[in-house]
C-alpha cells in the first residue's frame, strides 16, 4: 500500500511537469507568457530585448542648386546712362533788373616776362710787374756820395712802363725825395733793372708800375 502511494506520487509529479510544460508552451504561443513578462520586466529592458536595431538609411542625395549669377555683372554690362546736357534758358529770372546792361569786368593786363639781363663776365685778372724775383739779379740802388756827405736821405717813387719783354721802356718821378741827386739816382737805377712783365688774363702786357726806392743813412 505504501509502495503504491509512492508510485502514484511520482506519477502525479510527472503529470504536473508535463502539464506545466504543455501550459507554458500553449501560453508562449498564445502570448500570455509575453504579457506576464511585460508585467514583471520593465518596459525599457523589454524593448531592448525584443526590438531589433533598425538599419541606418542615408538621406537621398539632393542635386546642387544652380548658382545664380550676381546682379552686379548684369549691371556692369549695361551701358552708362547718358549725361544731362545743360541748355541755356533765354527766359530772364523774375528778380533780374530790366534794361540794365552790366559792363564787362576789365582784367588786369598780363605782365610780359622780362628777359633776364646777361651777367657780365668777370674782368680778367691783372698781375702787376715785379722786380723782386731772385732770378732777375737786380743790383741795389746806388747812394750818391755827395748825398751821404751832406746827409741827404728820403724816399723816391719812380713810375716806370714795363714792356712785355720785362725791360723798362719809360720812367718818370712820381714822388720826389726832396733832393735832386737822390731822384736822379733812383731814376737811373729803375731804368737799368729787369722785371717780370705784367699779365692780364694770363697774357703778358705792357703796363705802368710804381717802384719805391728809399735812401736812409746808417
Q: pLDDT tens-digit profile of 122-177?
A: 888 999 999 888 888 898 999 999 999 999 999 999 999 999 999 999 999 999 99
Please answer whether residues 206 and 197 qualify as being in contact, where contact means their C-beta atoms are separated by less than 8 angstroms.
yes
pLDDT recorded at residue 117: 78
pLDDT recorded at residue 90: 53
Taking the C-alpha atoms of residue 49 and residue 118, their distance in angstroms, rounded to an integer, is 120
Please answer whether residues 186 and 214 qualify as being in contact, where contact means their C-beta atoms are separated by less than 8 angstroms.
no
CATH number of the domain residue 200 falls in: 3.30.2420.10
Residue at which a domain ends, from 50, 67, 84: 50
The answer to whether position 134 is within a domain reads yes
The answer to whether position 72 is within a domain reads no
The answer to whether position 69 is within a domain reads no
The answer to whether position 66 is within a domain reads no
pLDDT recorded at residue 97: 54
- How many domains, in total, are found in the chain? 2
Query: In the chain, what is the straight-line distance between the N-terminal and C-terminal CA atoms, in Å?
Result: 202
The answer to whether position 41 is within a domain reads yes
Q: What is the mean pLDDT of the chain?
A: 75
The answer to whether position 64 is within a domain reads no
Taking the C-alpha atoms of residue 171 and residue 191, their distance in angstroms, rounded to an integer, is 7
The answer to whether position 116 is within a domain reads no
Which of the pair, 63 or 18, is modelled with greater confidence?
18
pLDDT recorded at residue 77: 58
C-alpha cell at 206: 705792357
Q: Which residue range forms the structural domain that includes residue 172?
A: 126-215
Residue at which a domain ends, from 30, 50, 70: 50
The answer to whether position 141 is within a domain reads yes
pLDDT recorded at residue 43: 44
Amino acid at each position: 500500500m505504501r509502495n503504491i502511494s509512492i508510485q502514484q506520487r511520482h506519477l502525479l509529479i510527472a503529470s504536473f511537469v508535463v502539464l506545466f510544460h504543455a501550459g507554458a508552451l500553449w501560453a508562449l504561443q498564445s502570448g500570455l507568457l509575453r504579457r506576464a513578462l511585460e508585467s514583471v520586466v520593465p518596459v525599457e529592458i523589454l524593448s531592448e530585448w525584443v526590438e531589433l536595431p533598425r538599419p541606418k538609411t542615408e538621406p537621398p542625395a539632393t542635386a546642387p542648386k544652380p548658382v545664380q549669377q550676381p546682379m552686379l555683372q548684369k549691371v556692369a554690362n549695361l551701358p552708362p546712362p547718358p549725361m544731362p546736357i545743360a541748355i541755356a534758358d533765354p527766359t530772364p529770372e523774375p528778380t533780374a533788373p530790366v534794361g540794365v546792361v552790366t559792363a564787362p569786368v576789365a582784367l588786369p593786363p598780363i605782365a610780359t616776362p622780362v628777359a633776364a639781363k646777361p651777367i657780365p663776365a668777370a674782368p680778367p685778372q691783372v698781375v702787376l710787374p715785379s722786380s723782386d724775383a731772385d732770378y732777375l739779379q737786380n743790383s741795389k740802388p746806388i747812394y750818391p756820395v755827395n748825398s751821404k756827405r751832406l746827409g741827404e736821405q728820403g724816399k723816391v717813387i719812380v713810375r716806370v712802363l714795363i714792356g712785355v719783354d720785362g725791360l723798362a721802356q719809360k720812367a718818370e718821378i712820381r714822388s720826389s725825395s726832396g733832393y735832386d741827386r737822390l731822384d736822379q739816382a733812383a731814376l737811373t737805377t729803375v731804368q737799368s733793372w729787369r722785371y717780370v712783365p705784367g699779365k692780364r688774363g694770363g697774357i703778358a702786357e705792357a703796363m705802368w708800375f710804381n717802384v719805391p726806392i728809399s735812401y736812409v743813412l746808417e
